[in-house]
Structure 1
Amino acid sequence: MDKSWIDWADWCSKPYRAKLEDFLNFAYVNRDPSSRIYCPCRKCENRKFFEKVIVRQHLHGNGFWKKYKIWDKHGESRDGADSLHRDEMFMGSDDYMEEDMVKVLNGWTDKSFKDLLDICNESMPEGVNLPNSYYQAQKLTEDLGFTYNTVDACPNSCMLFRNEDINLDQCLICKASRWKEDGCSLVSDLGPGKRKAAKQARYFPLKPRLQRLFMSSKIATLMRWHAEKRTDDGVFRHPADSLAWKDFDKKHPSFSGDIRNVRLGLASDGFNPFRTMNIVHSTWPVILVPYNLPPMMLMKQPFIYLSVLIDGPKGPGDKIDVYLQPLIEELKELWDEGIETFDASSNQMFQMHAALLWTINDFPAYANLSGWNTKGEYACPSCNSETASIWLPNGKKFSYGSSRRFLPYDHKYRKDPRSFNGLREYRRSPTTLSGVDLLTQLQSNGILTEYRREDLQTRQMMGLEKPEKDPLKKRKHNWKKKSIFFELPYWKDNLIRHNLDVMHIEKNVCDNVLETILGVAGKSKDNISSRRDLELMGIREQYHVKRRESGSEYFDPADFEMNNDGKDKFLIALSETRMPDGSASHIARRVRLKDRSISGLKSHDNHILLQQLIPLSIRSSLPKKVVEGLIDLGKFFKVLCSKLNCAADLEEARSRIVVTLCDLEKIFPPSFFDVMEHLPIHLVQEALIAGAVQFRWMYPIERCGE
């Protein structure tokens, strides 16, 4: 369509009037003549709605807005094809999406939602049309691409009823019924229309979501930011600065050849949708995050995509791979074939590919996704079978306090048995295995998957469903399964596959410190069992259990535990602290001076406490050696969580955290050092490989879930 007339100066000429009428006729094709449209005059600039007569008057008196070259608000699509129903489809869609969210959160019926739509339609201005029913509203979301596929699952998470299994009534593995029970009979006996699945999962297709990133010219341009505008000066500001990203590009040049190809991160964690502790329920979302965008847009809610939603009431556990099968299949297609996508910034079609860089999850979910059991003798996935742990007979748990292995071989701490566990330490630091090495380890030990039908049947025949019956448990590894992510052809080559979550590690370390220095009953790591373990190990005689003449046992207070006066000073200091608005929650509300305790802390509260408040508040409450150790621990997490880091800073932090943990081992009992106190040693190595922590932790994911 000719648009040269919009630049004409004579707005009263007959040719201008004729072209204007052609524009109005185009704008009102398949539109109610009495409805309102955007006014593209030079004053309104498509910011106001008017009827046809008013728009004609404005265009005669003010002229046509010269910058409005693509008439997308009047029926023309950006790629040049006339989309006559464009405005009708998008008009009011944002209002509907908000109302649909309210319906879901409040459990409204379809009829009540229809009544609300009727009221809203009456109150809307002319030209804005909301759907007339919930059914029409769902059709609208399908047109916009907000669709999902509901898949029935085995109640025991053995299989999905899809593809060739879609018509089955029971699980092929455990023979459990697909349908819910209604009293003494199955709902399946009531007829096809009334059957209800015992467990379901919802899958949100990935391809249309990634395609929509390129439908906006601004976002499509920003999807190339990592290659076109990023400053490459050795500072870790973005995942593209990391060694993992650069190594991936080097190993897969065909993928990195087009900078528009999408890099993804995957996160998963369980939550209770009912927001009450009275109901035990765990729903598991699987979330994807595109990493091509600039740092200020990464991990923000508009760019956090729900991929799989797994119904409760029980979490999937190690069988989460069963529910990830549709996603893995789509990721393989996006890697091998890609999908034809329109780039609005260049007005061209291109073949878009996508790859998964790593996963983000807390430590229990780490076990579910990676297949490595994060409990027991070999709990550390980085140390693998070289994990150094000691069984504490009285505490009935493992201690992972062997940080001296990571010191230089000639360090004096290695030859000091008395200050540590009674032994000299000559073992070298463990080697972190590559993805290829891990795959070889899995294959050599015959580890089975938890999603392939033949493997599940083999497990059932061998009686391997429960870990305590698993004969593999006695071997020198903690593998429970082979992860489904190894189905991706590039997964074994990734330098980082599963991230240790700094957020949860920092929270657990802070809780452990607070409960021990405050001597919280039932939670402190300093108790009668830990003192007996010290006695068995033959170290720190001053902390051994003593016996009175009456036969009762007691032990002297430890240097690392505050006395009542010290607790009062520490807690009063916390209660009187006022943080800048928006930087932290009101931590003073968590302090209970009467009980001399602090409880109910959120993850970010622990973040602020460990890095800022504890180092300031403990100075007059604990001995100097304890204070220095905890200050160094807070400094380490502060450096690690910095938004700007370089390799030199992280190398210094890595050498310092080893010494800090060794100093803490000289102070606290072995029971203090569970696996969470060991993992900080590996956090710096991951930061050197995968880059900035703020793009690899659970804060944005959990806030999105809230």
Structure 2
Amino acid sequence: MDKTWMKISNRKDKAYELEVKNFLKFAYSQKVENQKIPCPCTQCNNFCNQTKTVVEDHLLTQGIHKSYTRWIHHGEQFRHQNCGDSTKHGDGEEDSDTEDLNDMLHDIGTAQWGDNWAGREESTDDSLNANHSDTNNFLKLLEDAKKELYPGNHFYSKLSFVVTLLHLKTMSGWTIKSFNALLEIFSHALPPEATVPKSFADAKKLIRDLGFKSEKIHACVNDCVLFRKENENFDTCPNLNCKEPRYKMAGSRVPRKVLRYFPLKPRLQRLYTHKEIASDMRWHKEKCVHDDNIMRHPADSEAWKHFDRLHPDFAVDPRNVRLGLATDGFNPFGTMISAYSIWPIYLVPYNLPPWKCMRDPFFFLSMLIPGPKSPGNEIDVYMEPLIDELNEMWLGVETYDAYSGKKFDLRAALLWTINDFPAYAMLSGWSTKRYQACPICMVETTCVHLPHRKKLCYTGHRRFLPIDHSWRREKKPFDGNVDFRNPVAPLSGNEILDQVQNMEVNFGKTKAQSNAKKRKRSESGLNWTKKSCFFELPYWADLLLRHNLDLMHVSKMSQRLSLPQLWILKTKPKTTGCVVKI
């Protein structure tokens, strides 16, 4: 199948237009005409399903992704080759999937143990000797990549067969029960010499050295501390007001609460073991077209540029990673009555182009904070491992770059957080309740108590309008006053740090501590509840924009509050006095 047309740069070329039509004819050869298919254009990159007309339009305007040389999403079959003899089979196309798998394994090995890692037996490298067990496991993985599924099968190796099955399981939503049943059928249908795993657990065990390991860190049931570092060997909480046992039963080793943490460093290093992704990680500096009036990417923002000006040693290498953090609680049991809240923490690398950096494969789950209740102010306790690793990544870790074929010191920085308003309070340390709820206006927050509704109403938004705006002179539609005040200037990170520098907070949800928190007010009269753990990062106070509110929650709340009022104005129902009084 001729694919040379994919390299044609002029998308107005008649030959290119003809080949696009031939591609769509091939893609729809076994599909219904109006069915949606993955769009392989440079923007969608097979992540978005589109109609035939839209796919054709994207290919003619955006172009096809040049790395998509095997059309597996559009009807082309997998074509595996035996790694030991790549000339016996094949049809002159690009390297086989098996060879791609071997290349990936070789890049991972080089990234971990250097260029000569394959010759471990003859090597005296201390790094290899220190990781003797890991190296042996990885070499075994390479052997599985070269071993035929059964004698005479040149299409699948033992490893590629398992990887393909697990990929299909994920894409098709198979249950573990159905996956095990399929493996049992394979064990009977294939020759006895076939090396087919017996169960899903065996298949996962085979590829575990390809994946990333997670850490299970025990936590106090009242969120006082994590049992790590100096608390690692304690069997009870070191908090004098708590003293809750670490384990469920005396003598057992089953923890009452567990934080699942997924280390950041190996995941960022893995990005650079793939040549295409390693190249894309430079996109924000080498390929991004900057325009002062248009923001296409976070690299166009003033916060990004401000960080670059303050830290030129970090900005000089485009491979250094800029991260954003997002979190929100959810009920893992869906709409069931059970009240349970679990909090995932996500990290997103912004070096990638916009059509990639917001895709699922590049959303890193950093940790899972267990329930059943929200961590609240104690979220800082659970953030300790991530803060420690971010400090380590700020100094730099040696990393192999598959694109350049050389090693470099990889650094990473957290630029901001993205969350809803309640989570804003948890992460920033500024309480978004009571009379000073606004984290921008702070002591200048304009607030009115509604006696009949027993709620607070926040006014004073007109001060952020242009100085000559007509609403500033209006009285009756608002609170009966004109408003010509200037907008509030947000405090800088260093000014905030001065306010919270001497705050001492004892974390935990014990009854005694909860009562103390209710009675105690901030000595400064401000709404600060703690010094945020992010200030442990050496650059956090210098950031221009530390916390963001996500648009989804803001627009959702606006609609929820305004639409019912518009409906009341339209229908004018007969209501009791207590409903309309404020």
Deviation at 1:162, TM superposition (A): 1.7
Provide the rounded CA distance (Å) in 2 between the counterparts of 1:233 and 1:475.
43
Provide the rounded CA distance (Å) in 2 between the counterparts of 1:156 and 1:98.
41
What is residue 280 of structure 2 aligned with on the other side? 222
Aligned amino acid, residue 309 of structure 1: L
| 2:570 paired with 1:511 | no
Provide the rounded CA distance (Å) in 1 between the counterparts of 2:182 and 2:99.
33
- Aligned positions of 1:62-81 closer than 5 A: 77-78=106-107
Aligned amino acid, residue 161 of structure 1: F
Secondary structure at the counterpart of residue 218 of structure 1: helix
Structure 1 residues 471 and 84 mapped into 2: Cα distance closer, same or farther (>3 Å)?
closer
Secondary structure at the counterpart of residue 296 of structure 1: helix
What is residue 196 of structure 1 aligned with on the other side? 254
The one-character-per-residue Cα deviations of 1:197-250 (angstroms, maximum 9, x if unpaired) are 111110001111111111110111000000011101221000000111111011
Deviation at 1:147, TM superposition (A): 1.2
Provide the rounded CA distance (Å) in 1 between the counterparts of 2:492 and 2:201.
51
What is residue 307 of structure 1 aligned with on the other side? 366
What is residue 246 of structure 1 aligned with on the other side? 305
Question: Which runs of 5 or more residues in structure 1 are unaligned?
Answer: 1-44, 181-186, 450-454, 534-706
Structure 1 residues 441 and 404 mapped into 2: Cα distance closer, same or farther (>3 Å)?
same
| 2:342 paired with 1:283 | yes
Q: 1:343 aligns with which of 401, 404, 408?
A: 401
Deviation at 1:404, TM superposition (A): 2.4
Q: 1:471 aligns with which of 521, 529, 533?
A: 521
Question: Which runs of 5 or more residues in structure 2 are unaligned?
Answer: 1-75, 119-138, 146-158
| Higher RCO (C-alpha 8 Å, min separation 6) | 1
Secondary structure at the counterpart of residue 286 of structure 1: strand
Structure 1 residues 226 and 410 mapped into 2: Cα distance closer, same or farther (>3 Å)?
closer
| 2:498 paired with 1:428 | no
Give the structure-2-normalised TM-score: 0.70
What is residue 447 of structure 1 aligned with on the other side? 503
- Aligned positions of 1:153-192 closer than 5 A: 153-173=219-239, 174-180=242-248, 187-189=249-251, 192=252
Secondary structure at the counterpart of residue 236 of structure 1: coil
Secondary structure at the counterpart of residue 288 of structure 1: strand
Secondary structure at the counterpart of residue 449 of structure 2: strand
| 2:165 paired with 1:95 | yes
Structure 1 residues 169 and 224 mapped into 2: Cα distance closer, same or farther (>3 Å)?
same
What is the count of residue pairs matched by the alignment?
Answer: 458
- Aligned positions of 1:173-572 closer than 5 A: 173=239, 174-180=242-248, 187-189=249-251, 192=252, 195-234=253-292, 235-336=294-395, 338-409=396-467, 413-443=471-501, 446-449=502-505, 455-456=506-507, 463=513, 467-472=517-522, 476-519=525-568, 528-529=577-578, 531-533=580-582
Provide the rounded CA distance (Å) in 1 between the counterparts of 2:373 and 2:186.
39
Indicate conservation of the 8 Å contact 1:448/1:481, yes or no: yes
- Aligned positions of 1:614-629 closer than 5 A: none
Indicate conservation of the 8 Å contact 1:285/1:307, yes or no: yes
| 2:210 paired with 1:144 | yes
What is residue 48 of structure 1 aligned with on the other side? 79
The one-character-per-residue Cα deviations of 1:331-353 (angstroms, maximum 9, x if unpaired) are 000002x1111111111111100
Which 10-residue stretch deviates more, 339-348 or 351-360? 339-348
Structure 1 residues 512 and 50 mapped into 2: Cα distance closer, same or farther (>3 Å)?
closer
Indicate conservation of the 8 Å contact 1:285/1:306, yes or no: yes
Structure 1 residues 318 and 101 mapped into 2: Cα distance closer, same or farther (>3 Å)?
farther
Deviation at 1:415, TM superposition (A): 4.4
Provide the rounded CA distance (Å) in 2 between the counterparts of 1:515 and 1:425.
28
Provide the rounded CA distance (Å) in 2 between the counterparts of 1:157 and 1:145.
30
Aligned amino acid, residue 422 of structure 2: P
- Aligned positions of 1:673-688 closer than 5 A: none
Provide the rounded CA distance (Å) in 1 between the counterparts of 2:494 and 2:560.
36
Indicate conservation of the 8 Å contact 1:267/1:287, yes or no: yes
Structure 1 residues 57 and 503 mapped into 2: Cα distance closer, same or farther (>3 Å)?
closer
Provide the rounded CA distance (Å) in 1 between the counterparts of 2:364 and 2:422.
22
Which 10-residue stretch deviates more, 72-81 or 271-280? 72-81
Structure 1 residues 136 and 282 mapped into 2: Cα distance closer, same or farther (>3 Å)?
same
Deviation at 1:123, TM superposition (A): 5.9
Deviation at 1:136, TM superposition (A): 4.4
Percent identical? 44
Provide the rounded CA distance (Å) in 1 between the counterparts of 2:562 and 2:511.
46
Provide the rounded CA distance (Å) in 1 between the counterparts of 2:247 and 2:426.
26
Aligned amino acid, residue 511 of structure 1: R
Structure 1 residues 84 and 416 mapped into 2: Cα distance closer, same or farther (>3 Å)?
closer
Deviation at 1:530, TM superposition (A): 6.2
Aligned amino acid, residue 393 of structure 2: L
Provide the rounded CA distance (Å) in 2 between the counterparts of 1:102 and 1:198.
35
Structure 1 residues 408 and 52 mapped into 2: Cα distance closer, same or farther (>3 Å)?
closer
Deviation at 1:465, TM superposition (A): 5.5
Deviation at 1:96, TM superposition (A): 3.2
Provide the rounded CA distance (Å) in 2 between the counterparts of 1:221 and 1:245.
20
Structure 1 residues 85 and 199 mapped into 2: Cα distance closer, same or farther (>3 Å)?
closer
Deviation at 1:140, TM superposition (A): 3.8
Secondary structure at the counterpart of residue 332 of structure 2: coil
Indicate conservation of the 8 Å contact 1:463/1:470, yes or no: no
Provide the rounded CA distance (Å) in 1 between the counterparts of 2:85 and 2:543.
61
Secondary structure at the counterpart of residue 223 of structure 2: coil
Aligned amino acid, residue 468 of structure 1: K
Provide the rounded CA distance (Å) in 1 between the counterparts of 2:86 and 2:309.
57
Indicate conservation of the 8 Å contact 1:415/1:424, yes or no: yes
Indicate conservation of the 8 Å contact 2:378/2:507, yes or no: no
What is residue 86 of structure 1 aligned with on the other side? 142
Provide the rounded CA distance (Å) in 1 between the counterparts of 2:207 and 2:84.
33
Structure 1 residues 421 and 124 mapped into 2: Cα distance closer, same or farther (>3 Å)?
farther
Secondary structure at the counterpart of residue 357 of structure 2: coil
Secondary structure at the counterpart of residue 468 of structure 1: helix
